[in-house]
Amino acid sequence: MNLPNIISELVKAQNEFNSAAYANCFAENAEIFDEGQTHHGKPEIEKWIDKANKEYRATMKPIDYNENENILSAEVAGTFPGSPIVLKYHFQLSEGYIKSLKVTD
């Protein structure tokens, strides 16, 4: 599977539970929409993923990538009910960074 570099970096950071590296994949004014909440900007994204990493220990295994729509399907496993599950990551990329990310099931 041929992922854009920034998405590969995001997956690596998630699987290493590296919250700073995860946040650095995003543009300064990026947004994430996940579990009914929106997180704005790199500092808030880092705080959110750090809390999620500690709580869920979730890892991502990419299983499909739609290049036309920038949608990554990944098996996510961790310490949450129903694990593992397949989630879809809807990316908007800009200038080598992630501008927005929406996570759906």
Could you give the CA distance from residue 87 to residue 73 in angstroms, rounded to a whole number? 6
pTM for this structure? 0.95
Domain ranges of the chain: 5-104
Q: For residue 44, what are the CA distances in angstroms to 29, 36, 48?
A: 10, 15, 6
Q: pLDDT tens for residues 43-97?
A: 999 999 999 999 999 999 999 999 999 999 999 999 999 999 999 999 999 999 9
Query: What's the start-to-end Cα distance of the chain, in Å?
Result: 21
pLDDT score recorded for residue 71: 98
* CATH entry, 5-104, from 3.10.450.50, 3.30.420.40, 3.40.50.720, 3.20.20.190: 3.10.450.50
Confidence band (pLDDT; 50, 70, 90) for 38?
very high
Please check the confidence at residue 102 and state whether its pLDDT lies above 90. yes
Structure tokens at 62: 């990419």
Q: For residue 22, what are the CA distances in angstroms to 8, 62, 68, 82, 90?
A: 11, 16, 23, 24, 16
pLDDT score recorded for residue 43: 97
Please check the confidence at residue 1 and state whether its pLDDT lies above 90. no
Least Cα distance to 40 among 105, 103, 99, 104 occurs for 99
pLDDT score recorded for residue 12: 98
Average pLDDT value for residue range 20-37: 97
